[in-house]
Amino acid sequence: MQKQFSSPSAPIGVFDSGVGGISVLKHIRALMPQESLIYAADSKHAPYGNQTHEFIQARSFHLAEFLLSQGVKALVVACNTATAAAISSLRERYPDLLIIGMEPALKPAVAATKTGVVGVLATSGTLKSAQFAALLEHYAQGVEVVTQACIGLVECVEKGELTSLSTTALLKQYLQSLLSAKADTIVLGCTHYPFVRALIEDIVGGDVVLIDTGDAVAKHLKNRLQDNQLMCALDELGSVSFWSNNEADDTEKVMSALWGSPVSVARLI
């Protein structure tokens, strides 16, 4: 590893197309409270699922450069769509930087299903990606996978509308095809979706298992930090800073609600 990435006391950088990656940030915080964290929300360009491959790559490079300018020791791409579009290019550009990505949790979902039908909620960008096709090829043999692109759902979470009538209506619409196919396990294939998990549970009932990857990503990050001797050894709570390019007046209110306590949000260029 190059010297600039080798300080255990340096922060971990996390970015997403918007506020959804805060769901991953919370798992990282719970597992490694001593680590300092920097979160960058590219909300001005959310959702990435509607953007081109080239655009997502360009934004991912921009956010990575910003977080590197803040001195991060590791980078978490807390976005399934950005991971699919850009993580290979990010690793090529920064070969000495520890980079962790996301992918829909098909493997545990296939292991959990009893009906043999797995549902996947994701953005259209994730579902159309070569990475998702490879996951299907590798893990989905012998089961039926029903996918549903959730157009508009990211925008609901970005606005903090976690229990609104419009969000409920969208979810009922998108979950209908999965329930009709008798899916008993549903993958939350976007980091925004865990924030409406309670609403999804109300709609699908207690017999359907919901799976998201935030906890697994945090554990993988911890293992990689340990392998590279980059775990922070300080016995104190690490700092957390939030950055966003969202121009909405309620940005701090929404991000504070999702994080679970008041936060101040710096301006991301």
For the chain, domains (ranges, CATH) are 3-102+214-267 (3.40.50.1860), 106-211 (3.40.50.1860)
C-alpha to C-alpha distance for 160 and 215, rounded to whole angstroms: 22
pLDDT tens-place values along the chain, 269 residues long? 334 456 899 999 999 999 999 999 999 999 999 999 999 999 999 999 889 999 999 999 999 999 999 999 999 999 999 999 999 999 999 999 999 999 999 999 999 999 999 999 999 999 999 999 999 999 999 999 999 999 999 999 999 999 999 999 999 999 999 999 999 999 999 999 999 999 999 999 999 999 999 999 999 999 999 999 999 998 999 999 999 999 999 999 999 999 999 999 999 98
Structure tokens that stand for 20 in this block: 């959804």
**What's the pLDDT at 112?**
96
Catalytic residue, chosen from 79, 150, 156, 232, is: 79
**What's the pLDDT at 49?**
87
CB 225 within 8 A of CB 13: no
Taking the model in full, what pTM does it have?
Answer: 0.94
- Angle 219-262-220 (CA atoms, 0-180°, nearest 5)? 5
Query: What is the three-class DSSP state of 208?
Result: coil
Catalytic residue, chosen from 150, 156, 190, 232, is: 190
**What's the pLDDT at 1?**
36
CB 171 within 8 A of CB 198: no
Closest CA to 260 of 235, 242, 246, 238: 242
**What's the pLDDT at 50?**
85
Is residue 190 part of the annotated active site? The answer reads yes
